[in-house]
Amino acid sequence: MNLVALQGVLDNFSFAILFATMLIYWTGAAFPQIPLLSALGTAGMAIANLCIATLLGARWLEAGYFPLSNLYESLFFLTWGITLLHLFAENRSESRLVGVVTAPVAMAITAFAAMTLPDTMQASAPLVPALKSNWLMMHVSVMMLSYATLMVGSLLAIAFLVVTRGQNIELRGSSVGTGGYRDRTYRLNREESPDSPGVAMHPGGTAVLESVTTTEALSPQRLSLADTLDNISYRVIGLGFPLLTIGIIAGAVWANEAWGSYWSWDPKETWAMITWLVFAAYLHSRITKGWQGRRPALLAAAGFVVVWVCYLGVNLLGKGLHSYGWFL
């Protein structure tokens, strides 16, 4: 099978897989008692990830350069990043809710790329001279990875907002160390029975044991689902933020080396800065007393829109250094 035909099969297949995965995750959320669904969802995401990786690899082979030269390729690269970050977030949070929000977005992007984009825009085309630079490839790929990461983080924040709707909650996770302290109403007895193996190992401890079980020994208070979602969202955004920083700086340094200005207030540049500022505000809001809870998550959810404007919206304006005529 030749590479072009392979690509045509792979892009539609990734869409189909992601569509099925989305339905599996949604069914799983509606009927949590059905076994296997969460494993199926994870498998679906992993297969989609590999399909897209193969698709991009085939284009790399075919065109001879890193496949990030047009909208079609960049959309698939974005989806690849989203599925990758999904697998990371799901593994960390052990929550199938992650897929409920990430799968539809990944599905929608592939649907748009594989079906809505005209064939002429899907074909791989020679690079514009301005893109023939290793610096630029590094800049673009890191930016795309950061978009994917920030999108997944924002989606988790949206999931958190859905889970905690109508509640006034105080979170435990924060980066000044105000978190991690005990909720006074919560006590859990860790060493329930006297014949627990841990105690039985220790001769001499048995005598004390009776009193321990009655006075309620100190034992860990576990994170709730909301806490977990919020913290994983924070960690993913915390990873996307340095990527965004590195991506912007790579672009600035390249611009300075190429035409002598590291910042020229081009619309795309400005929007990357706006994205950076919004997520910087999010990171700061988490450590502000009295703001822990839904407020930072609202900022992160707004960040989802900002990332999309930065990624595609600016090109709709069709101005500046970063317009490659994607839509015009």
User: Who's near 267: CB < 8 A, 6+ residues apart?
Assistant: 314, 317, 319, 320, 322
| Cβ at position 34, least distance to other proteins in Å | 25
| Cβ at position 136, least distance to other proteins in Å | 10
- Per DSSP, the residues of 17-82 read HHHHHHHHHHHHHH-TTSSSHHHHHHHHHHHHHHHHHHHHHHHHHHHSS-S-SSHHHHHHHHHHHH
Measured from the CB atom, the residue of 5 and 262 that comes closer to other proteins is 262
3-state class of 89 per DSSP? helix
Measured from the CB atom, the residue of 24 and 300 that comes closer to other proteins is 300
C-alpha to C-alpha distance for 235 and 232, rounded to whole angstroms? 5
| Cβ at position 46, least distance to other proteins in Å | 21
Measured from the CB atom, the residue of 70 and 174 that comes closer to other proteins is 174
**Per-residue DSSP letter, 113:** I
Question: Is 36:98 a contact under the CB 8 Å cutoff?
Answer: no
Measured from the CB atom, the residue of 109 and 300 that comes closer to other proteins is 300
Measured from the CB atom, the residue of 205 and 325 that comes closer to other proteins is 205
| Cβ at position 318, least distance to other proteins in Å | 12
| Cβ at position 52, least distance to other proteins in Å | 26
* Count of C-beta atoms within a 10 Å radius of residue 197: 6
